[in-house]
Amino acid sequence: MKKRVRKFEGHFICRPFFSDELFADLEENTSKSLARIRTKRRYQKNDTVVSAGDVPDFIFILNSGQARLSVTNGINSVTNLRLVKKDEILGLNEVLANSFCEMNVETVTICEFDCVRRRDFLDLLSREPEICYRLLNLLGLRTQQIYETFSSVSF
């Protein structure tokens, strides 16, 4: 019997956020403001970056290496969802909503992430309308994608 394989994109419904969508070609002052709050973190192979149930203090952007998203069910069974893509932003939804993570992020190889502390990112959004506008635009596009996905499903 052939095993069924599901491919998950993003948080199951729409594709993930990428740093170039949010941070590419910013005005010089905005770019400098972002650079001031970005830090680099290096994680070893098999390190946990974020655990389900955590409220993240950072957004993470994968610069190098491989990491995976997984979920754990109630009996400690782990299901790997997919590999994280380079320049993917992790924890953005959770940081904006101040909510718990639903997935685990674990390194497969040595990884380097750009990290932005939650309070610094929220301050940046309030000070830099260019980034705030881009983020609102991306969130609106994702909402439209989710609507289109659900409206095409028949029950």
Confidence category of residue 8, pLDDT binned at 50, 70, 90: very low
Structure tokens at 47: 């390190």
What is the predicted pLDDT for the residue at 14?
Answer: 62
What is the predicted pLDDT for the residue at 151?
Answer: 79
Strands (E), 75-135: 78-83, 89-90, 104-107, 111-117
Residues 63 and 132: their CA atoms lie apart, in Å, by: 23
Residues 39 and 66: their CA atoms lie apart, in Å, by: 19
CATH fold, domain 19-151, is Jelly Rolls (2.60.120)
What is the predicted pLDDT for the residue at 61?
Answer: 97
Burial of 28 (0-12, 13-18, 19+ CB in 10 A): exposed
Residues 67 and 45: their CA atoms lie apart, in Å, by: 9
Domain boundaries in the chain? 19-151
Instruction: Express each pLDDT in 25-80 by its tens digit.
Output: 999 999 999 999 999 999 999 999 999 889 989 999 999 999 999 888 767 777 87
- Ordered strands of the 58-64 beta sheet: 38-43, 111-117, 58-64, 89-90
Instruction: Express each pLDDT in 80-111 by its tens digit.
Output: 789 999 999 999 989 999 999 888 999 999 99
What average pLDDT does range 102-124 have in this prediction? 96
Farthest CA pair distance, the chain? 58
Question: Would the pLDDT of 147 be above 90?
Answer: no
